[in-house]
Amino acid sequence: MAHAFTPGLKVSEKAVIYKERRLPLKGEVVVKIGDKVKADDIVAKTAIPGDVETLNIAGRLGVSPEDVKEFLKVKVGQEVNKDDVIAETNGFFGLFKTVIKSPITGSIENISEITGQMILRHPPKPIEIDAYIDGYVTEIIENEGVKVQTKGTFVQGIFGIGGEARGEIMRIAKSNDSVITENDITSNCKGKVLIAGAFIDVKTLRKAVSVGAKGIVVGGIDDRDIKEFLGYDIGVAITGSEKKGITLIVTEGFGQMSMAKRTFEILSSHEGEVASINGATQIRAGVLRPEVIIPNFNLKDEDLSSVDSSSGIKVGHNVRIIRAPYFGLIGKVTKLPPELEKIETEAKVRILEVELNDGRKITLPRANIELIEE
């Protein structure tokens, strides 16, 4: 019998976690298989070629392109410092010289005898990637990166902004359904990953940035607050590259939405421990979810568990609705009719019945939900 595969958000306190750390272009891997790494350890590095600048040497010297080489003080491949003399005319009896100095510190990339142009290149820009999580290197991706494995708590969110960050977990909400305010954000939040409850507004978010918090994990946020905070609308493109001084992870959806009790309790139980977080999100092709990872090497292998959602949705599974008009609501599957049903678009699809947390029962296409893996 075929199953309807439904991707789900993972919430696990005892999981084996793998993270691939890959350079944007080929470079050098500086660790080996079996190495134990800290989150901020560099595992691979490379360099992006610097920008180029063009100088019209012939024009500035007032000579023909083929004569430029007679006046050069440098050669192709040579490194120069800013204001080094790179070309100079002899002048008249040593006077009225034309001197050209390098506008940058870098190297001579090319000198054309056809155009009389010189191309200078800025120094390469080093790029290093760290391990992101405490763990062990389990695989080397030749000249590109590594895979790192750890044990610990793994929580996925439904939406996020901001890139990778690390900080000590600090609970600032009394419960999973409480709403935090600016008064809950103090100087003690500096460098912390804050665990909030059901909602955060733009003023409170900005307060967290001002005190230097690393991240916030919260149940819900208004999409208007996100727009005001970022200064633009979030489209369908991937998030995570925002440079706003904080990483935000929303676990439930848009609006005031209580964080799932189990998620709140798991995160709160790790207060004082260091978490690696990433707000990068992509909902459509190539699904990417924001995440919280809290390494714990004391977990025993026999305690570790995983959920395979490919076996299909079953009655009793907890699910989250991912399309309007019930977007973000959470409930439990109560019925899985085998027959195809016609929906508003006239298409025939497989449906399911979900009992929401408020007691309502609704029927909707199976493609409109995702499994909450626990």
String of DSSP letters for 237-266: SPP----SSSEEEEEEEESS-PPPHHHHHH
Over residues 314-340, the mean pLDDT reads 82
For the segment 52-80, the average pLDDT, to the nearest whole number, is 94
Percentage of residues in the chain having pLDDT higher than 70: 89
Rounded to an integer, the average pLDDT of 146-157 is 94
Give, in order, the Cα–Cα distances in Å from 336 to each of 201, 344, 351.
38, 19, 7
The mean of the pLDDT values for the chain is 88
pLDDT given for residue 316 in this prediction: 87
Q: How many CA atoms lie within 13 A of 343 on its CB side?
A: 14
DSSP codes, 169-210 = EEE--SSTT-B--GGG--GGGTTEEEE--SB--HHHHHHHHH
Q: How far is the C-alpha of 358 from the C-alpha of 293, rounded, in Å?
A: 30
pLDDT for the residue 74: 96
Instruction: Give pLDDT tens digits for 340-367.
Output: 777 776 666 678 899 998 899 999 887 7
- CA of 123: how far to CAs of 28, 79, 120, 197, 353, in Å? 18, 9, 10, 47, 61
Q: What is the pLDDT at residue 95?
A: 64
Please enumerate in sequence order all residues whose Cβ is within 8 A of that of 49, keeping only pairs 6 or more positions apart, or say none.
Answer: 121, 124, 125
**Helices marked H in the chain:** 57-61, 202-211, 223-230, 261-269
Mean pLDDT calculated for residue range 303-314 = 53
Token representation of residue 38: 């800290």
Looking at per-residue confidence, does 97 or 121 come out higher?
121
Domains along the sequence of the chain with CATH: 52-121 (2.40.50), 313-373 (2.30.30.30)
| High-pLDDT (> 90) share of the chain, % | 66
Q: From the centroid of its chain, how far is CA 139?
A: 22
Mean pLDDT over residues 222-251, rounded? 89
Q: How confident is the model at residue 6 (pLDDT cuts 50, 70, 90)?
A: very low
What value, to the nearest 5°, has the Cα angle with vertex 29 and ends 43 and 280? 50
| pLDDT over 70 at 318, yes or no | yes
Task: Determine the average pLDDT of the residues in 25-47.
Answer: 96
pLDDT surpassing 70 at residue 4: no
Q: List the structure tokens of 243.
A: 């440079």
pLDDT at 254: 86
Half-sphere exposure of 51 (CA within 13 A, CB side): 3
Residue 308's pLDDT is 37
Please report which confidence band the pLDDT of residue 336 belongs to, taking 50, 70 and 90 as the band edges.
confident
Reduce the DSSP state of residue 189 to 3 states and report it. Answer: helix
CB atoms < 10 A from the CB of 315, how many? 11
Instruction: Give the C-alpha separation, 313 to 309, whole Å.
Output: 7
First to last CA, the chain: 24
Report, in angstroms and rounded to the nearest whole number, the Rg of the chain calculated over CA atoms: 28
